[in-house]
Chains A and B, each alone.
Chain A
Amino acid sequence: MKAVKIILISLAVLFVAIQFIPSGIPENKPDDEKSIVNSSLVTEPILEQLRKSCFDCHSNQVRFPWYSKLAPSSWFLADHISEGKSNLNFSEWEDYSNREKIGLLEEIKDEVESGNMPLKSYLLIHRDARLNSEEISALLTWAGEATAQILK
């Protein structure tokens, strides 16, 4: 019984202690003219979909969940967001060259069509980010049209 108590107290102390380790979650920044929000490539419904299903890992406009303040979940979140943003950051869309934009749009098509994105682990908690077949096809059409527009 005493051993259990010691273990529980140690765990509690450890839990409190790790809260002081910085999580490294990137901070949100206000969207500026570089954001896809201001691009002629997107319509409002597509933007809404991107906000709901993609922006949490691929923009500077993350809706932080309550557990983002608690370690160790904050560490995993920090990793997810940093990796997501390094691959694609919709808030910095205009920093990409046309070639990179086409590459990203083709990747979006592949990832969405194959069901790899949004990530399953993310969808477990963010049920509103799930894409139904109509939303998938709207995103695929948009990505195709946006690519054609860039190639014009």
Chain B
Amino acid sequence: MKIMKISTFIVILVIIAGLFFIQSSRVSRIIQNSGSIYSAEAKKVIDEKCYGCHSEKGKSKDAKDALLWDNLPNLQKSRIVATLDDIIGVLKKNTMPPEDVVKKYPEMKLLPQEKETLLSWAESRADSLMK
């Protein structure tokens, strides 16, 4: 009788642990998916050079109207592609960060390597969305 009780207890424990495992792996997959729009390298550059103006905390309304990095993953697929296309255009024309910002904060200037990182991230993301 005692053995049966113990084995039932173990079975219940195993089931509960299994449920926890399934749940947690689902959650981590969701986090991974929602965060997967940015590569680690691109995110680093965005955080350092772009996020200040293009986030809810930014002071410029124009900058926020043009792009909010936090909202990008939640947009429709076509909107994401269009925004990535805009980002690529801006990077190629070297118009971001704006001249006046760079004048005031020279450390904000995008280094060639950082520009390349963002360009290749944006191009590959757009391509993968269009597949």
Contact = CB atoms under 8 A, between A and B. Distances in A.
A98 B82 contact: no
Interface stretch (B3-11, B30-38, B73-81): B73-81
* Main SS class of interface, A: helix
* Main SS class of interface, B: helix
A106 B77 contact: no
Interface size classification for chain B = 10 to 19
B85 A103 contact: yes
Interface string A88-102: 000000000011101
B72 to A, nearest CB: 14
A14 interface: no
Interface residues of A, number: 12
A151 B127 CA distance: 10
Given A102-B130, A106-B78, A106-B81, 11 more contacts: A98-B130, A99-B127, A102-B81, A103-B81, A103-B85, A103-B86, A106-B79, A107-B82, A151-B78, A151-B81, A151-B130
